[in-house]
A = this chain, B = another copy of it.
Amino acid sequence: VAVTGRTGKRAPRQADIARLAGVSQATVSVVLGGRQSVRLSATTRQRVLDAADELGYQPDPVATRLASARNNMLGLYTFTATFPTDVAHSYYPILVGIEEQAAALGQDLVLFTGASGGGSRARDEAAIRRTRIADGCLFLGRHVPVGPIGRLMESAFPLVFIGRRDELDGRIPHVGADYVAASAAVVGQLVGLGHRRIRYLRERDDALPSTDRERGVLRGAADAGLPVDDMVVHVGPGESCDELVATWRTEGVTAVVVEETDTGAAFTALTRALERAGLSCPDDLSLAVLGTPPSSGPVPSPVTGFEVPRREMGRRAVELLVELVTADPAVDLPVRQELLACAPRAGGTVGPAG
Protein backbone atom coordinates (compact mmCIF):
# COMPACT_ATOMS: atom_id res chain seq x y z
CA VAL A 1 0.00 0.00 0.00
CA ALA A 2 2.65 2.47 0.98
CA VAL A 3 4.62 4.03 -1.80
CA THR A 4 8.38 3.74 -2.11
CA GLY A 5 8.69 7.48 -2.12
CA ARG A 6 11.60 7.42 -4.53
CA THR A 7 12.33 6.11 -7.93
CA GLY A 8 15.49 4.13 -8.43
CA LYS A 9 16.77 0.78 -7.30
CA ARG A 10 15.74 -0.17 -3.81
CA ALA A 11 18.32 -1.09 -1.29
CA PRO A 12 18.27 -4.81 -0.47
CA ARG A 13 16.37 -5.91 2.63
CA GLN A 14 16.46 -8.99 4.78
CA ALA A 15 13.50 -10.31 2.82
CA ASP A 16 15.59 -10.22 -0.35
CA ILE A 17 18.34 -12.18 1.32
CA ALA A 18 15.83 -14.67 2.64
CA ARG A 19 14.45 -15.27 -0.83
CA LEU A 20 17.93 -15.73 -2.28
CA ALA A 21 19.07 -18.05 0.49
CA GLY A 22 15.82 -19.96 0.71
CA VAL A 23 15.16 -19.21 4.37
CA SER A 24 12.76 -17.02 6.27
CA GLN A 25 13.36 -13.36 6.89
CA ALA A 26 13.52 -14.03 10.62
CA THR A 27 16.35 -16.48 10.10
CA VAL A 28 18.24 -13.83 8.20
CA SER A 29 17.79 -11.49 11.12
CA VAL A 30 19.13 -14.10 13.50
CA VAL A 31 22.17 -14.84 11.36
CA LEU A 32 23.07 -11.24 10.68
CA GLY A 33 22.36 -10.20 14.24
CA GLY A 34 25.02 -12.65 15.32
CA ARG A 35 22.85 -14.01 18.11
CA GLN A 36 24.31 -17.12 19.63
CA SER A 37 21.22 -17.85 21.67
CA VAL A 38 19.68 -19.32 18.55
CA ARG A 39 21.71 -22.07 16.95
CA LEU A 40 21.64 -22.59 13.22
CA SER A 41 23.39 -25.06 10.98
CA ALA A 42 26.66 -23.81 9.65
CA THR A 43 25.48 -24.28 6.07
CA THR A 44 22.34 -22.21 6.56
CA ARG A 45 24.35 -19.52 8.22
CA GLN A 46 26.84 -19.50 5.39
CA ARG A 47 24.14 -19.41 2.73
CA VAL A 48 22.61 -16.36 4.40
CA LEU A 49 25.96 -14.67 4.77
CA ASP A 50 26.78 -15.30 1.13
CA ALA A 51 23.45 -13.97 -0.04
CA ALA A 52 23.84 -10.85 2.09
CA ASP A 53 27.28 -10.32 0.67
CA GLU A 54 26.09 -10.81 -2.89
CA LEU A 55 23.34 -8.25 -2.48
CA GLY A 56 25.55 -5.79 -0.65
CA TYR A 57 23.13 -5.73 2.23
CA GLN A 58 23.30 -3.08 4.92
CA PRO A 59 20.70 -3.06 7.67
CA ASP A 60 18.29 -0.15 7.79
CA PRO A 61 19.20 1.64 11.02
CA VAL A 62 15.76 3.17 11.36
CA ALA A 63 14.00 -0.15 11.30
CA THR A 64 16.63 -1.60 13.57
CA ARG A 65 16.04 1.13 16.07
CA LEU A 66 12.26 0.91 15.90
CA ALA A 67 12.43 -2.78 16.59
CA SER A 68 13.98 -1.83 19.92
CA ALA A 69 17.51 -2.78 19.17
CA ARG A 70 20.42 -0.43 19.16
CA ASN A 71 21.29 2.04 16.55
CA ASN A 72 24.89 2.91 17.20
CA MET A 73 23.92 6.52 17.09
CA LEU A 74 24.60 8.93 19.92
CA GLY A 75 22.91 12.29 20.07
CA LEU A 76 24.54 15.59 20.87
CA TYR A 77 22.19 18.29 22.02
CA THR A 78 23.58 21.74 22.59
CA PHE A 79 21.43 24.45 24.06
CA THR A 80 23.03 26.89 21.67
CA ALA A 81 24.49 26.51 18.19
CA THR A 82 26.79 23.50 18.11
CA PHE A 83 29.45 25.29 16.11
CA PRO A 84 29.58 28.71 17.66
CA THR A 85 31.17 31.34 15.47
CA ASP A 86 32.70 33.40 18.23
CA VAL A 87 33.32 30.96 21.02
CA ALA A 88 34.79 28.22 18.91
CA HIS A 89 37.66 27.98 21.33
CA SER A 90 35.37 26.78 24.07
CA TYR A 91 33.18 24.07 22.53
CA TYR A 92 35.43 22.88 19.82
CA PRO A 93 37.84 20.78 21.88
CA ILE A 94 34.86 19.08 23.47
CA LEU A 95 33.49 18.23 20.05
CA VAL A 96 36.85 16.87 19.01
CA GLY A 97 36.89 14.60 22.04
CA ILE A 98 33.33 13.49 21.43
CA GLU A 99 33.90 12.66 17.82
CA GLU A 100 37.17 10.92 18.54
CA GLN A 101 35.70 8.60 21.12
CA ALA A 102 32.46 8.08 19.22
CA ALA A 103 34.42 6.98 16.17
CA ALA A 104 36.59 4.72 18.32
CA LEU A 105 33.48 3.04 19.69
CA GLY A 106 31.78 2.80 16.30
CA GLN A 107 29.08 5.30 17.12
CA ASP A 108 27.67 7.87 14.74
CA LEU A 109 26.73 11.26 16.09
CA VAL A 110 23.45 13.08 15.66
CA LEU A 111 23.71 16.82 16.13
CA PHE A 112 20.36 18.10 17.24
CA THR A 113 20.15 21.63 16.00
CA GLY A 114 16.63 22.16 17.26
CA ALA A 115 17.85 24.31 20.10
CA SER A 116 19.55 26.85 17.89
CA GLY A 117 16.24 28.34 16.89
CA GLY A 118 15.88 29.81 20.34
CA GLY A 119 12.38 28.48 20.42
CA SER A 120 9.48 28.36 22.79
CA ARG A 121 8.99 25.86 25.59
CA ALA A 122 6.99 23.58 23.34
CA ARG A 123 9.70 23.66 20.71
CA ASP A 124 12.34 22.86 23.29
CA GLU A 125 10.29 19.97 24.51
CA ALA A 126 9.87 18.60 21.01
CA ALA A 127 13.52 19.11 20.21
CA ILE A 128 14.63 17.31 23.34
CA ARG A 129 12.16 14.51 22.81
CA ARG A 130 13.61 14.08 19.38
CA THR A 131 16.91 12.98 20.85
CA ARG A 132 15.26 9.58 21.29
CA ILE A 133 16.10 8.79 17.74
CA ALA A 134 19.56 8.00 19.04
CA ASP A 135 20.47 5.29 21.52
CA GLY A 136 21.41 7.94 24.03
CA CYS A 137 22.30 11.59 24.11
CA LEU A 138 24.96 13.99 25.30
CA PHE A 139 23.83 17.40 26.52
CA LEU A 140 25.96 20.49 26.54
CA GLY A 141 25.07 23.93 27.85
CA ARG A 142 25.07 26.30 30.76
CA HIS A 143 21.47 25.73 31.81
CA VAL A 144 19.13 22.75 31.99
CA PRO A 145 15.44 22.66 31.06
CA VAL A 146 14.53 20.41 33.93
CA GLY A 147 11.06 19.46 32.70
CA PRO A 148 11.94 17.79 29.43
CA ILE A 149 15.19 16.40 30.76
CA GLY A 150 13.41 14.96 33.77
CA ARG A 151 10.90 13.22 31.52
CA LEU A 152 13.69 11.82 29.42
CA MET A 153 15.37 10.44 32.52
CA GLU A 154 12.12 8.99 33.85
CA SER A 155 11.75 6.99 30.69
CA ALA A 156 15.24 5.60 31.31
CA PHE A 157 16.63 7.16 28.18
CA PRO A 158 20.42 7.13 28.53
CA LEU A 159 21.88 10.60 28.75
CA VAL A 160 25.03 12.30 29.99
CA PHE A 161 25.63 15.99 30.50
CA ILE A 162 28.95 17.57 29.80
CA GLY A 163 29.65 19.85 32.71
CA ARG A 164 28.63 19.28 36.30
CA ARG A 165 24.91 19.56 37.08
CA ASP A 166 23.06 19.70 40.35
CA GLU A 167 19.49 19.96 39.12
CA LEU A 168 16.90 17.20 39.57
CA ASP A 169 18.17 16.32 43.04
CA GLY A 170 21.68 15.87 41.74
CA ARG A 171 20.73 12.76 39.79
CA ILE A 172 21.77 13.97 36.34
CA PRO A 173 24.64 11.89 34.98
CA HIS A 174 27.52 14.10 33.94
CA VAL A 175 31.19 14.51 33.25
CA GLY A 176 32.51 17.77 34.56
CA ALA A 177 35.71 19.48 35.53
CA ASP A 178 36.78 19.81 39.13
CA TYR A 179 36.71 23.59 39.23
CA VAL A 180 36.52 23.67 43.01
CA ALA A 181 39.81 21.87 43.54
CA ALA A 182 41.56 23.61 40.67
CA SER A 183 40.45 27.06 41.82
CA ALA A 184 41.44 26.38 45.40
CA ALA A 185 44.84 25.26 44.16
CA VAL A 186 45.34 28.53 42.29
CA VAL A 187 44.64 30.52 45.44
CA GLY A 188 46.90 28.18 47.38
CA GLN A 189 49.69 28.89 44.94
CA LEU A 190 49.25 32.64 45.38
CA VAL A 191 49.24 32.31 49.13
CA GLY A 192 52.40 30.24 48.90
CA LEU A 193 54.03 33.17 47.14
CA GLY A 194 53.13 35.46 49.98
CA HIS A 195 49.96 37.06 48.65
CA ARG A 196 47.45 38.00 51.36
CA ARG A 197 45.27 40.58 49.69
CA ILE A 198 43.67 38.70 46.80
CA ARG A 199 40.57 39.58 44.82
CA TYR A 200 38.39 37.28 42.78
CA LEU A 201 36.72 38.84 39.76
CA ARG A 202 33.73 37.09 38.19
CA GLU A 203 30.76 37.74 35.96
CA ARG A 204 27.26 38.05 37.30
CA ASP A 205 25.73 35.13 35.42
CA ASP A 206 25.15 32.35 37.93
CA ALA A 207 25.81 28.94 36.53
CA LEU A 208 27.50 25.99 38.15
CA PRO A 209 30.88 26.52 36.48
CA SER A 210 30.88 30.01 37.99
CA THR A 211 29.72 29.12 41.46
CA ASP A 212 32.06 26.12 41.60
CA ARG A 213 35.00 28.33 40.81
CA GLU A 214 33.92 30.80 43.45
CA ARG A 215 33.55 28.05 46.02
CA GLY A 216 37.04 26.86 45.20
CA VAL A 217 38.51 30.32 45.51
CA LEU A 218 36.81 30.89 48.85
CA ARG A 219 37.84 27.50 50.09
CA GLY A 220 41.44 28.17 49.10
CA ALA A 221 41.35 31.47 50.91
CA ALA A 222 39.70 30.04 54.00
CA ASP A 223 42.21 27.19 54.11
CA ALA A 224 44.97 29.79 54.23
CA GLY A 225 43.21 31.74 56.92
CA LEU A 226 42.60 34.68 54.64
CA PRO A 227 39.64 37.01 55.22
CA VAL A 228 36.99 36.23 52.67
CA ASP A 229 34.37 38.93 53.08
CA ASP A 230 35.49 41.41 50.44
CA MET A 231 37.22 38.93 48.16
CA VAL A 232 34.60 38.38 45.47
CA VAL A 233 33.96 41.19 43.01
CA HIS A 234 31.44 41.12 40.15
CA VAL A 235 31.65 42.74 36.76
CA GLY A 236 28.60 43.04 34.56
CA PRO A 237 28.55 42.60 30.80
CA GLY A 238 30.07 45.61 29.05
CA GLU A 239 31.25 47.18 32.28
CA SER A 240 34.79 48.49 32.62
CA CYS A 241 37.16 47.46 35.40
CA ASP A 242 39.00 50.74 35.58
CA GLU A 243 37.58 51.80 38.92
CA LEU A 244 38.05 48.37 40.42
CA VAL A 245 41.70 48.35 39.49
CA ALA A 246 42.20 51.80 40.99
CA THR A 247 40.50 50.71 44.20
CA TRP A 248 42.63 47.60 44.44
CA ARG A 249 45.76 49.71 44.22
CA THR A 250 44.71 51.79 47.18
CA GLU A 251 43.72 48.67 49.10
CA GLY A 252 47.13 47.09 48.60
CA VAL A 253 45.82 44.15 46.58
CA THR A 254 48.75 42.14 45.21
CA ALA A 255 46.99 39.39 43.25
CA VAL A 256 43.81 39.05 41.24
CA VAL A 257 42.13 35.84 40.21
CA VAL A 258 39.66 36.13 37.36
CA GLU A 259 36.93 33.81 36.16
CA GLU A 260 37.04 32.41 32.67
CA THR A 261 33.79 31.70 30.83
CA ASP A 262 32.65 31.08 27.28
CA THR A 263 32.61 34.77 26.54
CA GLY A 264 35.77 35.63 28.42
CA ALA A 265 34.09 38.93 29.31
CA ALA A 266 35.56 39.31 32.79
CA PHE A 267 39.06 38.44 31.65
CA THR A 268 38.91 40.82 28.71
CA ALA A 269 37.52 43.66 30.80
CA LEU A 270 40.23 43.15 33.40
CA THR A 271 43.19 42.97 31.05
CA ARG A 272 41.98 46.07 29.21
CA ALA A 273 41.74 47.95 32.49
CA LEU A 274 45.23 46.80 33.53
CA GLU A 275 46.60 48.03 30.23
CA ARG A 276 44.90 51.40 30.56
CA ALA A 277 46.24 51.73 34.10
CA GLY A 278 49.71 50.98 32.82
CA LEU A 279 50.07 47.99 35.13
CA SER A 280 52.08 44.95 34.12
CA CYS A 281 51.91 41.39 35.42
CA PRO A 282 53.43 40.06 37.54
CA ASP A 283 55.49 43.15 38.44
CA ASP A 284 52.66 45.40 39.55
CA LEU A 285 50.06 42.75 40.16
CA SER A 286 49.91 38.98 40.00
CA LEU A 287 47.18 37.66 37.74
CA ALA A 288 45.69 34.17 37.52
CA VAL A 289 42.79 33.01 35.42
CA LEU A 290 40.51 30.07 36.19
CA GLY A 291 40.60 28.47 32.77
CA THR A 292 42.11 29.07 29.37
CA PRO A 293 41.55 32.60 28.08
CA PRO A 294 40.80 32.88 24.34
CA SER A 295 43.92 34.96 23.85
CA SER A 296 45.79 36.78 26.53
CA GLY A 297 45.55 40.16 24.78
CA PRO A 298 47.74 42.79 26.45
CA VAL A 299 48.86 40.44 29.20
CA PRO A 300 51.98 38.27 28.72
CA SER A 301 51.17 34.78 27.57
CA PRO A 302 50.56 32.23 28.91
CA VAL A 303 48.55 33.43 31.86
CA THR A 304 48.94 31.46 35.07
CA GLY A 305 45.92 29.33 35.86
CA PHE A 306 44.61 25.89 34.84
CA GLU A 307 43.49 24.04 31.77
CA VAL A 308 39.95 22.77 31.47
CA PRO A 309 40.27 19.22 30.11
CA ARG A 310 37.62 19.75 27.43
CA ARG A 311 38.71 17.10 25.03
CA GLU A 312 38.93 14.52 27.78
CA MET A 313 35.50 15.57 29.02
CA GLY A 314 34.09 14.91 25.56
CA ARG A 315 35.80 11.57 25.33
CA ARG A 316 34.80 10.45 28.78
CA ALA A 317 31.20 11.52 28.32
CA VAL A 318 30.96 9.33 25.25
CA GLU A 319 32.43 6.42 27.17
CA LEU A 320 29.93 6.81 29.99
CA LEU A 321 27.03 7.19 27.59
CA VAL A 322 27.98 4.03 25.74
CA GLU A 323 28.18 2.23 29.07
CA LEU A 324 24.65 3.35 29.87
CA VAL A 325 23.39 2.42 26.42
CA THR A 326 24.87 -1.04 26.51
CA ALA A 327 24.04 -1.73 30.14
CA ASP A 328 21.56 -4.43 30.98
CA PRO A 329 18.33 -2.48 31.55
CA ALA A 330 17.42 -4.87 34.33
CA VAL A 331 20.28 -3.87 36.59
CA ASP A 332 20.24 -0.42 38.09
CA LEU A 333 23.51 1.36 37.59
CA PRO A 334 24.57 3.98 40.09
CA VAL A 335 24.23 7.50 38.69
CA ARG A 336 27.39 8.17 36.74
CA GLN A 337 28.96 11.48 37.73
CA GLU A 338 32.61 12.26 37.25
CA LEU A 339 34.77 15.30 37.73
CA LEU A 340 38.01 15.45 35.79
CA ALA A 341 41.06 17.20 37.20
CA CYS A 342 42.22 20.46 35.63
CA ALA A 343 45.95 20.56 34.98
CA PRO A 344 47.66 23.64 36.39
CA ARG A 345 49.27 25.99 33.87
CA ALA A 346 52.36 27.67 35.27
CA GLY A 347 52.27 30.74 33.06
CA GLY A 348 54.18 33.92 33.66
CA THR A 349 51.75 36.33 35.25
CA VAL A 350 52.19 35.36 38.86
CA GLY A 351 55.14 36.31 41.01
CA PRO A 352 56.02 36.70 44.66
CA ALA A 353 54.03 39.26 46.60
CA GLY A 354 55.75 42.64 46.57
Contact = CB atoms under 8 A, between A and B. Distances in A.
B113 A102 contact: yes
A239 interface: no
A132 B8 contact: no
Interface string A1-25: 0111111111100000000000000
Given A99-B83, A103-B81, A132-B62, A7 B156 contact: yes
Interface stretch (A104-112, A266-274, A342-350): A104-112
B108 A114 contact: yes
Interface stretch (A66-74, A162-170, A213-221): A66-74
A156 B58 contact: no
Contacts of A62: 62, 65-66, 71, 132-133
Most buried by B among A10, A112, A156, A330: A156
Contact of A111 (B3, B71, B110, B154): B110
A237 interface: no
A132 B66 CA distance: 14
B68 A2 contact: yes
A61 interface: yes
Interface string A80-96: 01110100100010011
Interface stretch (A123-131, A181-189, A197-205): A123-131
A108 B130 contact: yes
Contacts of A2: 67-68
Contacts of A117: 103, 106
A5 B66 contact: no
A56 B71 CA distance: 24
A58 B329 contact: no
A23 B129 CA distance: 24
Given A83-B99, A113-B99, A5 B68 contact: yes
B82 A99 contact: yes
Contacts of A103: 81, 113-114, 116-117
Most buried by B among A8, A108, A329: A108
- Which 10 interchain pairs have the tightest Cβ spacing? A8-B156, A58-B129, A103-B116, A103-B113, A109-B111, A5-B68, A8-B155, A61-B133, A6-B156, A83-B96
10 contacts: A3-B68, A7-B156, A8-B155, A56-B129, A82-B99, A83-B92, A106-B117, A107-B113, A108-B112, A110-B111
